[in-house]
Amino acid sequence: MEFTQDEEPTIEKPIVIAAMQDMGNVGSIVINFINDSLRTKTFRIAKTSYPTYVVDKGGYIDLPNESWEYKYTDDLILFGGGKGQPQSNNEINALCQDVIDVAKKYSAKFIYTLGGFHTNRVLDNNPKTYITTTSIELTKQMEGLDVEITPQKSIITGFNGLILGFAKKNGIQGIGMYGELNAPEIPQYRAAISIIKTLEKLTYRKLGDTNQLEVIAQEIERKFKN
């Protein structure tokens, strides 16, 4: 991975929210929404050293722009969003470590990540968000806040799981939020809305009006019903 930093934010002890594109695009939808809503500013960019694919534009190829941005506003740092994740474990690990390094640099005490939670439960347009944390003690605190805890043991792969492991190893508290979805291949805006509302509840801050996401969710539902 290659990292470049264009600015030095004047922030101290921020909350870090870090997530990348995953099933249902949930991670990207939430990160992109918050960035747009809060008008965050880019200060650091992570870029893959080698392309993981090429784009055939009809007779000639082009290289994809595989990069992810760190953005900030007030007491908040956001990382990720955009498209895709690195394809190699080494690069995902390098990204996770860089997020941790940035968190330490600005004395962040908390990291949130988020993504999709595949379930066969009939959601009826009202998916739940399940939470897991970096410690039993923190989970017990969450249980008193009327949130749903992940219901069973499972393995969480990719950046949106590994970042919690890196946080735990580095003594930073972390919470993973995973919104229910039935169809991982379809963008899941209702799962994203559920996560945003849970995130607002836990951070005590307004992240934006989700009505636009609701409209997109309805459009997608009409499309796939037809």
Instruction: Show me where the domains of the chain are located.
Output: 2-225
Give ∠ CA 90-8-44 in degrees, rounded to 5. Answer: 30
- What separation in angstroms does the CA of 63 have from each of 22, 52, 54, 82, 142? 22, 9, 5, 16, 44
* Token duo for residue 166: 């890196």
Mean pLDDT of 141-156: 87
Distance, CA of 49 to CA of 3 (rounded, Å): 10
* pLDDT tens, position by position, 9-64: 999 899 999 999 999 999 999 999 999 999 999 999 999 888 778 889 999 999 88
Q: Model pTM? A: 0.92
**2-225: CATH topology:** Rossmann fold (3.40.50)
**Contact between 130 and 150 (Cβ < 8 Å):** yes
Mean pLDDT of 92-111: 95
Mean pLDDT of 101-121: 94
